[in-house]
């Protein structure tokens, strides 16, 4: 008798570049949020959706491995584990008051921030372009060391080895390195060292919005005004600055102005969607959706 595969055995084809645990912060009592998309430049489509219907792309992180189930190692083995850990950190960051974060929490936080800069469809495409070019440049450099590097499974000559390489080999190497780029320890240590603070919006201010570009950042972080900012819920913004005195400048910004600046970044940078708890900011979103998308963030 043929038995159907269990749910745990089926590969997850719907890959969320904005994780569902993050989207849930914007849901109402019905477990849904307002999803704004722009299928045509002059048309804004608004639907109330569950989190599973927002911020995803079919087979976004698939990689050509020999074992079909290993094709999904990035989604199963990396992003799922990272997002599970990040969800616990988000619960702390949305606490009142915010409890002290452990060393593991801080490491998870910085890795998650890096993931947001790379895991969207456009940023992943930018990474693939850069990493693929580096792969093409690296292959000829092994010619002089081929005998030293060759394993028992490799062809006898470097010419045969180069002739045997396929587009799938190239894609496999590029995707295997993707997680290493996101979890780069040097960048993680740098993000951990920023001066971090949380800013709660008053009750009379609009909510913070969410989109597929939720991490506002300066053009370069190692400078006096270097900073990153991310809404962790409709009510709270978390900011990290390179210099402590620039964090003081954030504290002097009026709350309504801070919400306006952050929401402007979030909505103008949107390529795929904007999420909101309710419809009160529809006009704001309509006037700014996708007006200033940022270039792909590709560093390898």
- List pLDDT tens digits, range 232-291: 999 999 999 999 999 999 999 999 999 999 999 999 999 999 999 999 999 999 999 999
**What pLDDT was estimated at residue 3?**
35
Mean pLDDT over 22-30 rounds to 98
Give domain limits for the chain.
62-191
Whole-number Å distance between alpha carbons of 287 and 283 = 6
* Between 291 and 4, the higher pLDDT residue: 291
**What pLDDT was estimated at residue 11?**
62
| pLDDT over 50 at 171, yes or no | yes
Which one of 129-138, 140-149, 175-184, 277-286 scores highest in mean pLDDT? 277-286
Average pLDDT over all residues of the chain = 92
Pairing assessment for the beta strands 210-211 and 274-276 based on DSSP bridges: antiparallel
| pLDDT over 80 at 202, yes or no | yes
pTM: 0.90
Within the chain, where are the H helices?
A: 20-23, 73, 80-93, 103-118, 121-138, 146-149, 158-164, 167-176, 178-182, 185-192, 244-252, 255-268, 282-288
| pLDDT over 70 at 107, yes or no | yes
Among residues 80, 82, 88, which one has the least CA distance to residue 14? 80
Least confident range of 4-8, 127-131, 201-205, 263-267: 4-8
Whole-number Å distance between alpha carbons of 30 and 232 = 20
Whole-number Å distance between alpha carbons of 42 and 44 = 7
Pairing assessment for the beta strands 195-200 and 210-211 based on DSSP bridges: unpaired
* pLDDT level of residue 12 (50, 70, 90 thresholds): confident
- List pLDDT tens digits, range 38-84: 998 879 999 999 999 999 999 999 988 867 667 888 998 899 999 99
Phi and psi at 192, nearest 5°, equal: -60, -30
| pLDDT over 70 at 299, yes or no | no
| pLDDT over 90 at 101, yes or no | yes
Mean pLDDT over 124-153 rounds to 91
* Between 293 and 299, the higher pLDDT residue: 293
Burial of 108 (0-12, 13-18, 19+ CB in 10 A): buried
**What pLDDT was estimated at residue 8?**
45
**Residue with token string 């006096």:** 224
Whole-number Å distance between alpha carbons of 103 and 82 = 15
* Between 132 and 40, the higher pLDDT residue: 132
């Amino acid at each position: 008798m043929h038995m159907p595969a269990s749910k745990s055995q089926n590969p997850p084809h719907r890959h969320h570049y904005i994780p569902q645990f993050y989207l849930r912060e914007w849901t109402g009592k019905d477990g849904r949020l307002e999803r704004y998309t722009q299928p045509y430049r002059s048309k804004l489509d608004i639907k109330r959706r569950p989190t599973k219907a927002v911020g995803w792309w079919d087979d976004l992180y698939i990689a050509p491995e020999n074992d079909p189930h290993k094709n999904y190692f990035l989604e199963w083995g990396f992003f799922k584990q990272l997002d599970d850990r990040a969800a616990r950190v988000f619960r702390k960051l949305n606490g009142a008051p915010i409890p002290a974060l452990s060393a593991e929490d801080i490491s998870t936080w910085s890795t998650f921030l890096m993931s947001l800069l790379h895991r969207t469809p456009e940023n992943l495409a930018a990474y693939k372009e850069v990493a693929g070019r580096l792969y093409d440049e690296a292959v000829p450099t092994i010619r002089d060391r081929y005998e030293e590097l060759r394993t028992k499974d490799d062809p006898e000559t470097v010419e045969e080895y180069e002739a045997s390489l396929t587009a799938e080999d190239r894609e496999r190497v590029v995707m295997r390195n993707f997680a290493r780029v996101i979890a780069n320890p040097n960048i993680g240590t740098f993000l951990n060292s920023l001066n971090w603070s949380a800013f709660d919006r008053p009750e009379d201010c609009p909510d913070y919005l969410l989109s597929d570009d939720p991490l506002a950042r300066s053009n370069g972080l190692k400078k006096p005004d270097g900073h990153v900012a991310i809404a962790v819920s409709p009510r709270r913004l978390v900011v990290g600055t390179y210099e402590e005195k620039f964090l003081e400048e954030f504290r002097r910004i009026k709350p309504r102005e801070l919400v306006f600046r952050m929401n402007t970044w979030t909505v103008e940078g949107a390529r795929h969607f904007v999420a909101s708890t309710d419809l009160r900011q529809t006009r704001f979103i309509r006037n700014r959706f996708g007006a200033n998308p940022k270039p792909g963030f590709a560093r390898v």
